[in-house]
């Protein structure tokens, strides 16, 4: 359903009902959920929270709660863009189209019709406008059906709702920022879209900081301060050692090509250029000398420019919880994602969902720190897997795309049976390959990656991502391509993920599915 006014068409509709919140396993969705929970708490709205991992879970949840669900989504055939005649229906059209000024019944039968030149011109103009409208309609529908892409963060949209309702808080603002940062960390939106949305969030941060300047609790031990930062693109560096962060961050690892001996030598030269002792950069960031930390960002930026890393700093936000705890928005994203896709044996998907949701609350700092530790292990696993794939030439050119398969027995392969982790690995691997290959054609190709999903069931998880490019519009065409390849080969696939570029496939059908995909995209 297309909603013009989110307050009138959505919130006021559900305000007097018991609400079912169906939440996908996605950081942006979790943040949107937290904002809605806070709003419902303000207005004393009863709700049921149901995590749904895919379309099957969504169907099951609907059947369980169908008595209390009022569907807001129309059927597929009603979701199409309207035709020209449905929008522009001219009441005088028939009279003008006839071009006859007088009443035909009062005219002699042999008399020629007299045409109004103005009416003819209007008719021609209307026909031209109709052709343009229909051409644009076909373009929009083709774009909508062929590609998958992300719009504005759901958390941002619900924060805007809270703002309109004058019920927005700093916690809600922070969740909206995390939702936006999730889109950037997982490469879902263009850099231009990210910068534009950051500017919107910055205005809200300034408004809240100004509003709370005179509050007595602004310096209390449990206060919350959000600030705009022009910080480093070094993942979790404030909770890690500087060396490990540089080594395991996608941006620096790919720039130095740290999977090579020459790249590791470059890293040592980089640290020497900054004048940072190895003893300092290898210990935890919090333990580094204050004299080094004070100018660290400027020193790193200066040396990075010499090594071609001109975008080492990025616009983002940071938060202080009290006097001790400081986190960047990207820290929150990585920690929450690690908790959400934790591979620990004893935890179910629902347990992981609840832990990830708890980590977003500032009252659960310990949970957040445990998520950060899991995120470190995940990033190390990604870096090691990327290095292994590049060094052993596991990335193959299949004509219209690149292909990589993680075989059973690969270290940390269980971690990459999760969609977010595999997608992050896929994007990291493609960037690394583009930096390492000399083949100009291969640099422009998309990547399809597969990893074992469930050994007992004999299934693999397959992810497709668009080519790596600074000017990329982030539109992914693999969703429709996967469907057609599966249909043409009768491959046993499961298209259960909300992200259509992620599917599950029977292991024995992998070869014929891949052949069909090559034929389809050639």
Q: What is the pLDDT of residues 62-79, one digit of tens each?
A: 888 777 665 443 333 334
Point out which residues pair with 115 in neighbouring strands.
Answer: 100
Distance CA 340, CA 5 (A): 32
At residue 124, the pLDDT reads 85
Point out which residues pair with 314 in neighbouring strands.
Answer: 231
Distance CA 473, CA 149 (A): 9
At residue 84, the pLDDT reads 55
- Cite the DSSP H helix spans in 25-116: 27-42, 55-65, 84-87, 93-98
Distance CA 517, CA 404 (A): 14
Distance CA 349, CA 478 (A): 26
More confident residue, 294 or 429: 429
Distance CA 416, CA 452 (A): 8
Closest to 270 measured CA to CA, from 238, 302, 292, 235 = 302
Both tokens assigned to 468: 């790596």
Least trusted range by pLDDT, from 112-126, 254-268, 455-469, 475-489: 112-126
Decide if pLDDT at 96 tops 50: no
Residues 49, 52, 55, 61: is their CA dihedral positive or negative?
Answer: negative
Both tokens assigned to 25: 């396993």
Instruction: Give the model's confidence band at 220: pLDDT under 50 very low, under 70 low, under 90 confident, else very high.
Output: low
Decide if pLDDT at 103 tops 90: no
CB 138 within 8 A of CB 81: no
Residue with tokens 């005649």: 85
Distance CA 325, CA 319 (A): 8
CB 463 within 8 A of CB 186: no
173-204 residue pLDDT tens: 999 999 999 999 999 998 999 999 999 999 99
Query: Which domains occur in the chain, in start order?
Result: 394-521 (3.10.310)
Distance CA 302, CA 105 (A): 87
DSSP character string of 487-513 = HHHT--EE--SSSTTEEEEEGGGHHHH
* Parallel/antiparallel/unpaired status of strands 19-23 and 47-51: parallel
Distance CA 400, CA 389 (A): 20
First to last CA, the chain: 36
Closest to 150 measured CA to CA, from 426, 502, 499, 503 = 499
Decide if pLDDT at 217 tops 80: no
Q: How many CA atoms lie within 13 A of 274 on its CB side?
A: 26
Q: Assign 458 to helix, strand or coil.
A: coil
At residue 303, the pLDDT reads 92
Residues 22, 24, 25, 27: is their CA dihedral positive or negative?
Answer: negative
Distance CA 112, CA 102 (A): 11
Mean pLDDT, rounded, of the chain: 85
Q: Assign 343 to helix, strand or coil.
A: coil
Q: How many CA atoms lie within 13 A of 420 on its CB side?
A: 24
At residue 16, the pLDDT reads 80
Instruction: Give the model's confidence band at 3: pLDDT under 50 very low, under 70 low, under 90 confident, else very high.
Output: confident
Distance CA 502, CA 462 (A): 6
CA distances from 144 to 469, 476, 477 (A): 22, 11, 10
């Amino acid at each position: 359903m297309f909603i013009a006014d989110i307050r009138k068409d959505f919130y006021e509709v559900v305000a007097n009902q018991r609400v079912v919140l169906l939440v996908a396993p996605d950081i942006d969705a979790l943040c949107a959920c937290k904002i809605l929970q806070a709003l419902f708490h303000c207005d004393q709205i009863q709700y049921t929270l149901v995590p749904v991992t895919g379309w099957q879970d969504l169907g099951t949840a609907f059947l369980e709660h169908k008595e209390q669900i009022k569907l807001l989504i129309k059927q597929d055939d009603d979701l199409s863009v309207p035709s020209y005649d449905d929008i522009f229906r001219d009441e005088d059209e028939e009279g003008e189209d006839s071009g006859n000024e007088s009443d035909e019944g009062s005219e002699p039968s042999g008399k020629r019709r007299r045409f109004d030149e103005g009416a003819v011109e209007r008719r021609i103009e209307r026909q031209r406008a109709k052709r343009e409208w229909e051409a644009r309609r076909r373009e929009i529908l083709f774009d909508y059906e062929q590609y998958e892409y992300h719009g504005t963060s759901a958390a941002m949209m619900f924060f805007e709702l809270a703002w309109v309702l004058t019920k927005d808080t700093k916690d809600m603002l922070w969740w909206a920022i995390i939702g936006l940062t999730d889109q950037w960390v997982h490469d879902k939106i263009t850099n231009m879209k990210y910068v534009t949305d950051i500017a919107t969030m910055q205005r809200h941060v300034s408004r809240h900081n100004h509003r709370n300047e005179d509050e007595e609790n602004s310096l209390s031990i449990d206060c919350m301060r959000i600030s705009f930062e022009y910080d480093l693109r070094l993942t979790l560096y404030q909770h890690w050692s500087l060396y490990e962060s540089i080594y395991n961050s996608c941006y620096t690892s790919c720039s130095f090509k740290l999977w090579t001996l020459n790249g590791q030598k470059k890293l040592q030269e980089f640290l020497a250029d900054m004048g940072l002792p190895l003893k300092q950069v290898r210990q935890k960031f919090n333990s580094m000398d204050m004299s080094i930390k004070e100018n660290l960002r400027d020193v790193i930026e200066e040396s990075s420019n010499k090594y071609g890393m001109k975008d080492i700093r990025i616009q983002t936000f940071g938060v202080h919880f009290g006097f001790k705890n400081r986190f960047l928005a990207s820290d929150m994203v990585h920690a929450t994602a690690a908790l959400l896709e934790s591979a620990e044996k004893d935890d179910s998907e629902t347990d992981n969902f609840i832990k990830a949701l708890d980590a977003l609350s500032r009252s659960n700092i310990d949970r957040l720190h445990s998520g950060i530790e899991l995120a470190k292990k995940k990033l190390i696993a990604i870096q090691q897997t990327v290095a292994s794939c590049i060094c052993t030439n596991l990335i193959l050119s299949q004509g219209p795309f690149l292909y990589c398969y993680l075989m059973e027995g690969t270290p940390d392969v269980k971690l990459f049976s999760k969609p977010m982790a595999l997608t992050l690995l896929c994007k990291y691997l493609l960037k690394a390959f583009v930096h390492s290959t000399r083949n100009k054609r291969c640099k422009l190709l998309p990547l399809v990656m597969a990893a074992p999903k469930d050994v007992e069931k004999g299934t693999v998880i397959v992810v497709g991502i668009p080519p790596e490019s600074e000017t990329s519009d982030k539109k992914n065409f693999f969703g429709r391509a996967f469907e057609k390849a599966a249909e043409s080969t009768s491959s046993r696939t499961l298209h259960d993920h909300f992200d259509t570029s992620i599917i599950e496939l029977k292991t024995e059908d992998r070869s014929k599915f891949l052949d069909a995909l090559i034929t389809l995209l050639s």
